[in-house]
């Protein structure tokens, strides 16, 4: 039982500390955030590479946004500030509604010249059009943050200045639990060292330990991708808009917070896109490859060993399939800015499955997909594109469930060498 509890604790703490959530809806209770994070943790346990993929997607978006804003003259803009935007750090208040200012909306407003950021040294000049707008300096921003967790900036109808939130201010608002992260990193490091030691001394390694190492690898990928992302940030920068402001109508249909699995439809350079694809492929191949650690280990029956081997091989081939699907999505899914395949698949399911079964109740499902994916009904992809995705998703889910169950079932019959601890004295010189 010590082995089981050690692996379960490692999986739990590495997954819990790796999750970097977005800014929650305004005035939501703490219980909502804990329940939301718990649900995401369950998803991350069932599919750890999914969490790592989301982290890489957000990193890709943050890097692209940083490059975009630096190209517009904000040379001091950092990746951490881009993460602040991606996670819904800027929130607009209008007509008692609180909605995050998304990446696409921000870029559109900047492109149209409707808004600009007030850098820390911005000072309104006398007689200028902006002389009636208060410059938001870093000192004033800190004072507002200390006085209350949520600071408000009032924008008039012709105002064009957004508050500048410095990396130091973001760090002040972030609630990173460094002690918990230190415990998590220590547990992960100990598991890796112990597993290496067991392999060197030819001691048995259980399927559960091999599975735990795959979770640890995905958690490390997420840690690296979210290194600059604020942790447990709950106080956004609130921008107050008058009811007549043009942005008010645009944000009425927006969700109260940025969904965790939402991919901003930001324009990306081709090189940056394939950098992301290479990183995602590395995550999947690392996760699948680590399952081969149990290739020659002891299983309860020969059939279970063969099933483990046969099912681990398709997972290694999955990255190549994902790249092909990505190429098909760019060629056949023609939304104004492109549509992620997850959204396209759900759109097809609602249109082809839900709508024929319950036609009168399908509209809410459509609205949910449109809202999260920014797509229209006439953009429903065809079956030749969605069919392979649904089939692959079903097979992948079955494989993941079996491997997870087998990791625990394999403990019913283990060799004696599994109970032998690593003799660390063989690795260090000593007198005796």
Please tell me the pTM assigned to this model: 0.69
pLDDT of residue 200: 82
Give a three-class secondary structure readout of 171-216.
Answer: HHHCCCCHHHHHHHHHHHHHHHHHHHHHHHCCCCCCHHHHHHHHHH
In this predicted structure, the answer to whether residue 147 has a pLDDT above a threshold of 70 is no
Q: Do 28 and 153 belong to one domain?
A: yes
The C-alpha angle with vertex 133 and arms to 129 and 139, in degrees rounded to 5, equals 135
Question: What does pLDDT average to over the chain?
Answer: 70
Q: Do 263 and 402 belong to one domain?
A: no
Structural domain includes residue 358: yes
In this predicted structure, the answer to whether residue 47 has a pLDDT above a threshold of 60 is yes
Proportion of the chain above pLDDT 70, given as a percent: 61
pLDDT band at 128 (very low <50, low <70, confident <90, very high): very low
Structural domain includes residue 432: no
In this predicted structure, the answer to whether residue 281 has a pLDDT above a threshold of 60 is yes
pLDDT of residue 79: 92
In this predicted structure, the answer to whether residue 280 has a pLDDT above a threshold of 70 is no
| Residue-wise pLDDT tens digits, 344-382 | 555 556 555 556 656 655 555 554 444 444 444 444 455
pLDDT of residue 363: 56
In this predicted structure, the answer to whether residue 222 has a pLDDT above a threshold of 80 is yes
pLDDT of residue 80: 92
Q: Do 147 and 277 belong to one domain?
A: yes
The answer to whether 370 and 344 are in contact (CB under 8 A) is no
Structural domain includes residue 423: no
Structural domain includes residue 58: yes
Structural domain includes residue 289: yes
Domain hosting 307: range is 298-414
The answer to whether 205 and 195 are in contact (CB under 8 A) is yes
Q: Do 282 and 252 belong to one domain?
A: yes
Q: What is the mean pLDDT of residues 394-419?
A: 78
pLDDT of residue 265: 46
Q: Do 282 and 376 belong to one domain?
A: no
| Residue-wise pLDDT tens digits, 94-116 | 766 777 777 777 777 777 766 77
What is the domain count for the chain? 2
Give the span between the Cα atoms of 185 and 169, in whole angstroms.
26
pLDDT of residue 139: 42
- For residues 125-140, b (16+ Cβ closer than 10 Å) or e, as one string? eeeeebeebebbbbee
Give the span between the Cα atoms of 263 and 83, in whole angstroms.
13
pLDDT of residue 349: 60
| Residue-wise pLDDT tens digits, 193-211 | 888 888 787 777 777 888 8
Cα(first)–Cα(last) distance of the chain, in Å? 34
The residue that leads in pLDDT, 167 or 336, is: 167
In this predicted structure, the answer to whether residue 22 has a pLDDT above a threshold of 80 is yes
pLDDT band at 156 (very low <50, low <70, confident <90, very high): very low
Closest Cα partner for 228 from 85, 102, 71?
85
In whole angstroms, what separates CA 298 from the centre of its chain? Answer: 35
């Amino acid at each position: 039982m010590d082995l089981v509890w050690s692996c379960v604790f490692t999986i739990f703490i590495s997954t819990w500390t790796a999750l970097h959530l977005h800014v929650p809806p305004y005035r939501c209770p703490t219980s909502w955030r804990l329940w939301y994070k718990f649900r995401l943790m369950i998803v991350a346990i069932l599919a750890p590479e999914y969490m790592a993929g989301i982290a890489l997607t957000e990193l890709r978006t943050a890097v692209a946004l940083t490059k975009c804003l630096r190209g517009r003259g904000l040379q001091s803009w950092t990746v951490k500030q881009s993460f602040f935007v991606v996670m819904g750090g800027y929130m607009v208040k209008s007509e008692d509604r609180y909605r995050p200012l998304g990446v696409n909306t921000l870029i559109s407003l900047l492109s149209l010249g409707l808004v600009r950021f007030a850098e820390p040294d911005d000072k309104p000049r006398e007689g200028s059009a902006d002389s009636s707008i208060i410059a938001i300096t870093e000192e004033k921003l800190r004072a507002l943050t200390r006085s209350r967790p949520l600071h408000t900036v009032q924008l008039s109808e012709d105002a064009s200045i957004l508050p500048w939130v410095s990396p130091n201010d973001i760090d002040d608002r972030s609630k990173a639990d460094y002690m918990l992260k230190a415990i998590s990193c220590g547990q992960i490091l100990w598991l890796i060292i112990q597993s290496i030691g067991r392999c060197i001394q030819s001691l048995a390694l259980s399927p559960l330990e091999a599975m735990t190492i795959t979770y640890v690898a995905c958690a490390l990928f997420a840690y690296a991708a979210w290194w600059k992302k604020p942790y447990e940030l709950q106080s956004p920068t609130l921008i107050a808009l008058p009811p007549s402001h043009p942005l008010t109508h645009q944000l009425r249909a927006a969700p109260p917070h940025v969904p965790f699995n939402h991919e901003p439809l930001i324009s990306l350079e081709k090189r940056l896109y394939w950098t992301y694809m290479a990183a995602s492929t590395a995550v999947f191949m690392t996760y699948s490859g680590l399952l081969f650690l149990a290739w020659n280990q002891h299983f309860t029956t020969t059939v279970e060993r063969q099933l483990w081997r046969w099912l681990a091989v398709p997972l290694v081939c999955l990255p190549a399939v994902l790249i092909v699907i990505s190429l098909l999505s760019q060629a056949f899914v023609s939304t104004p800015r492109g549509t992620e395949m997850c959204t396209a698949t759900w759109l097809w399911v609602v249109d082809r499955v839900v709508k024929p079964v319950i036609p009168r109740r399908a509209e809410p499902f459509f609205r949910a997909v449109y809202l999260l994916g920014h797509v229209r009904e006439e953009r429903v992809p065809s079956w030749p594109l969605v069919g392979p995705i649904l089939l692959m998703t079903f097979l992948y889910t079955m494989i993941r469930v079996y491997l997870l169950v087998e990791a625990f079932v394999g403990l019913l019959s283990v060799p004696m060498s599994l109970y032998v601890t690593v003799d660390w004295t063989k690795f260090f010189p000593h007198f005796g």
